[in-house]
Amino acid sequence: MAEESLNANEVVLAEEIGHVSVITLNRPRQLNVISSRVVELVAKYLEKWEKDDDTKLVIFKGAGRAFSAGGDLKMFYAGRKDDFCLEVVYRMYWLCYHIHTYQKTMVALVHGIVMGGGAAMTVPLKFSVVTENTVFSMPEASVGLHSDCSFSYILPRLPGYLGEYLTLTNARLSGKDMVAVGLATHFVPSEKLKELENRLLSLNSADENTVSNVIEEFSIDVLPEEETILNKLQTINKCFCKESLEEIIESFEAEGWNNGNEWIWPVLKVLKRASPTGLKITLRSIREGRNQTLPECLKKEFRLTMNLLRSVVSEDVYEGIRAFSIDKDNAPKVLSYIYHLH
């Protein structure tokens, strides 16, 4: 297979090296956020390589210090007056389903930030490699959106009620945490990541055992750090199993008064400044996702996303994007935020 020419200014770089194809998200200054052009190109290359008998393995990675910080919220804000979002969202959900059901072996090299829709390009893969610099989070609910791109299917399948906690509080997981809960498959020290990539590029096999053996040459067994939230899962389960958002917050606040639970107060602060609309929709979506198939979750998420972006439910999402991503004053002025804060 000939190596594909690269345009260094393109938002997605595609390389064909031997029998391995490589996608590099290439917006490093913007933390590789996912724009309409990114979705278009990633979908095009994946579809092309899935049909190409010469392609045995596909590698995903991001340029710079992030894999991807998720969807391009500024893009949605700029298109809020029309239905620009419709095609972008539709393409993204098709891409999510395609990634989950892809017929070729795929490996994600996740070095740095991976959030929201960016994580939708790594978590479903057969092999997802993280490092000590990897940071995972789901920030959508805080700005009035919801955990989408298949995460209403993924999060409920984490241990206990960790999924609810992660998506409602925008909590972060390290690479070690991700491996521990099944959001990644291998931990490789960052100084070994390039060497691992070179070994993968030399492969002439789609055999999953062969790929796994190569990754395991570089991976190490790790345990979560002592201060990880995974060590607080008993308290998280006790509070985040509650039926309603109000009951969760009330229970969580009560736990905060117990000795050793000082960690709860900063988390509560994040919860109380988030969009109640986003939190309530996200909670219900995650709860429904426990008993839904992947296609059912994606269909539900698509409808939710479109109605939120069309402001059918509320204006929270655009005020949240303005406050937290554009002006960065962290002071949303939508009524539902103000009501929640007081």
Positions marked catalytic: 71, 117, 140, 148
Distances (CA, A) of 242 to 112, 238, 248, 252, 340: 33, 8, 5, 10, 19
Q: How many CB atoms lie within 10 A of CB 340?
A: 19
Name the token pair of 6.
């690269």
Name the token pair of 189.
């020290």
**How do 127-130 and 186-187 pair as beta strands?**
parallel
Residue at 293: amino acid letter: T
CB contact at 8 A, 144 and 316:
yes
**How do 12-17 and 20-25 pair as beta strands?**
antiparallel
Residue environment code for 205-226, b if the CB has 16+ CB neighbours within 10 A, otherwise e: ebeeeebbebbeebbeebebee
Name the token pair of 238.
């006790």
The β-bridge partners of 114 are 68, 136
On the 0-12 / 13-18 / 19+ scale of CB atoms within 10 A, 273 is middle
CB contact at 8 A, 270 and 169:
yes
CB contact at 8 A, 240 and 250:
no
Angle (CA) 118 200 205, round 5°: 110
Distances (CA, A) of 333 to 168, 256, 279, 310: 20, 28, 17, 18
The β-bridge partners of 21 are 16, 58
DSSP 12: E
